[in-house]
Amino acid sequence: MLLREGLHRVVAPLGERVVALYLLEGPEGILLWDTGVADSVTGTLLPYLADAGIDPARIRWAINSHCDFDHTGGNAALREAVPHVALFAGADDLPLVTDLDRLIAERYGEFRVSDGFDDPAETTAHIRAVTGLVDDVTPLTGGETFDLGDRRIVVLAAPGHSPGHLALWDDRSRALLISDATLGTTVPYADGSAAFPPTYRDTDDYLRTLTGFRAHGADLLLTAHYPLYEGTEVEGFLAASEQYVDVLDAAISRVLSTTEDLTTLEIVRLIAAEVGTWPDAAADYLVFPVTGNLERMQQRGLVRQSARGERRTWLRSAA
C-alpha cells in the first residue's frame, strides 16, 4: 500500500497476526524497515515489488527495528534476493540480531530460571523454522541519517521493548516509524482482537521513548502489528501506551499490599484478569512488562526481592 509519495506499507501474514514492513523510496535508493520472517520476504515483499514495478535491486539499506525474530527473520532471504543490501540494527540488540541461539536463550528465555517462564517447545521450534539471520549487520545508535535523494531519514534510539530498539523519522511525510517501540494496551490478532499483552521490558526507557515520540508531532504513526494511526489517533495510541504502565503499577501494588513474597508469575496470574482479556497462556507474557515495572518500583524503594528456591519473589519494602 502506498501511504505517501515514496512511503509503502507491506503487510505480511504472521500466523494469526500480521507484520508490516515499510519501504522508503527516493532517487538514491530504497530503505527497507524490518524484514519480518523468511516468508515475509519471499511470499509478500518480493511479490509486492513485482506488482508495483519496483526493482528489488533498488533496496540499498535494510534496518531491523529490533532483535525479535519477526523483525529480523527475513534477513537471510533478503540478502539472497538482494545480495548488495546493507543491513543495520540497534547496537544494543546486535548480538541477538546475528545469533539465533542467543536470541532464544537471552531474549525469550530470560525468565526461565528466575521466574519459571519460557516459550513452549513448539514456539521455539517455529521461531527456528522461520528465522534466517546473517552475520554482517552494522550497528546504529540513533542520530544517523540515510539520504534518499529527496529526503533524509533520521534514526532514533527507542529503547524499552528491547535495549537497542530503533525508530525512524521521515520529515517529508511527517511519519514516525516505530515498529514495536510503543505497544498500546494489547498486541492484536489480524482481526483486531487481543492476542497477548504489550511486552515492553524496561519501563523507564519505554516511557522516555514515548515522550520523545511526542516531540516530533507526527501526522502518521507506523507500527508493525497495529493499524495506521493518523492525526489525533497518534496521540491517542501514545497516551494509551503510557497509561497502561500506570494500570500495571496499580494492579501490582494492590496485590502486594495484601499478599507478599510472590513470584513474578504469581503476580501476573493474580492481576491478569483486571489488566487484559487474554487466554491464560498468553497472559503469562505479562512477565515482561510486570518485571519492568517491578524493577522500577524496586529502584524507587517501593518493593524488594527475596527468593523461594530458584525463583525470585517480591515484597513490599518496609515503610
The cell numbers describing 166, all together, are 530503533
**pLDDT > 90? residue 105:** yes
Residue after which a domain boundary falls, among 241, 270, 304: 241
Q: How far is CA 127 from CA 13, 76, 81, 310, in A?
A: 15, 14, 21, 27
**pLDDT > 90? residue 286:** yes
**What share of the chain in percent tops pLDDT 70?**
100
- Closest CA relative to residue 35, chosen from 5, 56, 16: 56
- 53 located within any domain: yes
Range from 66-80, 202-216, 237-251, 258-272 carrying the lowest mean pLDDT: 258-272
**pLDDT > 90? residue 60:** yes
The residues pairing with 314 across neighbouring beta strands, listed in sequence order, are 262, 305
The one-letter code for the residue type at 39 is D
Q: Cβ of 182: how many Cβ atoms within 10 Å? A: 27
- 33 located within any domain: yes
The verdict on 105 and 202 lying in the same domain is yes
Residue after which a domain boundary falls, among 241, 273, 290: 241
Range of the domain at 310: 259-316
* Alpha carbon distance 195, 183 (integer Å): 12
User: Domain tally for the chain?
Assistant: 2
Q: How far is CA 118 from CA 10, 150, 164, 187, 204, in A?
A: 31, 46, 22, 19, 24
pLDDT of residue 319: 58
**Confidence category of residue 303, pLDDT binned at 50, 70, 90:** very high
Give the burial class of 208: count Cβ atoms within 10 A of its Cβ; 0-12 exposed, 13-18 middle, 19 or more buried: middle
The residues pairing with 176 across neighbouring beta strands, listed in sequence order, are 169, 221
Structural element, H or E, at residue 196:
strand 194-196
Three-point CA angle 86, 92, 98, nearest 5° = 50
The verdict on 34 and 84 lying in the same domain is yes
The verdict on 234 and 276 lying in the same domain is no
The verdict on 237 and 282 lying in the same domain is no
pLDDT tens, position by position, 16-44: 999 999 999 999 999 999 999 999 999 99
- 246 located within any domain: no
The cell numbers describing 12, all together, are 505480511
**What share of the chain in percent tops pLDDT 90?**
97
- 103 located within any domain: yes
- Closest CA relative to residue 159, chosen from 119, 122, 195, 210: 210
pLDDT tens, position by position, 185-228: 999 999 999 999 999 999 999 999 999 999 999 999 999 999 99
The verdict on 96 and 215 lying in the same domain is yes
Question: What is the DSSP pairing of strand 220-223 with strand 229-230?
Answer: antiparallel
- 158 located within any domain: yes
